[in-house]
Amino acid sequence: MSTLQISLTIAGGLLLAGVVAHSAWSARKNLPKRATPETTSEAGLEPAQTDAPGDSGQEPQERQEPRFDIDGDSGLGALTTLMALEKKPGLDALIDVIAPVVIDAVVSGEAALAAMPSTRRAGSKPFGVEGLSVANGEWEFPCAGQRYSAFQCGVQLANRVGALNQIEYSEFVIKAQAFADAIDGAPEFPEMHDEVARGRELDQFASAHDAQLSFTLRALNTAWSPGYVAQNAARLGFVAGSIPGRMVLPANQQGGAPILGLAFDTQAAMAEDPEQTALREITLSLDVPQVPRGDQPFARMCEAAIALATGMDGVIVDDNGNLIPASAMDGIATELELLYDTLDQRELSAGSVLARRLFS
* pLDDT score of 148: 98
* pLDDT score of 49: 43
| Pick from 153, 147, 154: nearest CA to 179 | 153
Structure confidence at residue 321 as a pLDDT band (50, 70, 90): confident
CA atoms within 13 A on the CB side of 152: 17
Structure confidence at residue 273 as a pLDDT band (50, 70, 90): confident
Question: Rounded distance, CA 243 to CA 90, Å?
Answer: 29
Question: Rounded distance, CA 158 to CA 137, Å?
Answer: 29
| Top-confidence residue, 144 or 319 | 144
- What domains appear along the chain, each with residue ranges and CATH number? 88-206 (3.30.1400.10), 209-358 (3.30.1400.10)
| Pick from 280, 334, 324: nearest CA to 302 | 324
Question: Rounded distance, CA 300 to CA 259, Å?
Answer: 9
| Top-confidence residue, 54 or 195 | 195
pLDDT one-digit tens code per residue, 42-95: 443 444 444 444 444 444 444 344 333 334 444 444 444 444 434 455 899 999
130-150: average pLDDT:
96
Structure confidence at residue 277 as a pLDDT band (50, 70, 90): confident
269-293: average pLDDT:
90
Tell me which of 68-72, 100-104, 164-168, 329-333 is least confident: 68-72
pLDDT one-digit tens code per residue, 237-256: 999 998 999 999 999 888 89
| Pick from 240, 213, 214, 221: nearest CA to 280 | 221
pLDDT for 138 beyond 80? yes
Q: Is 106 exposed, middle or buried (0-12, 13-18, 19+ CB in 10 A)?
A: exposed
Question: Rounded distance, CA 39 to CA 28, Å?
Answer: 25
* pLDDT score of 86: 43
* pLDDT score of 312: 95
Structure confidence at residue 203 as a pLDDT band (50, 70, 90): very high
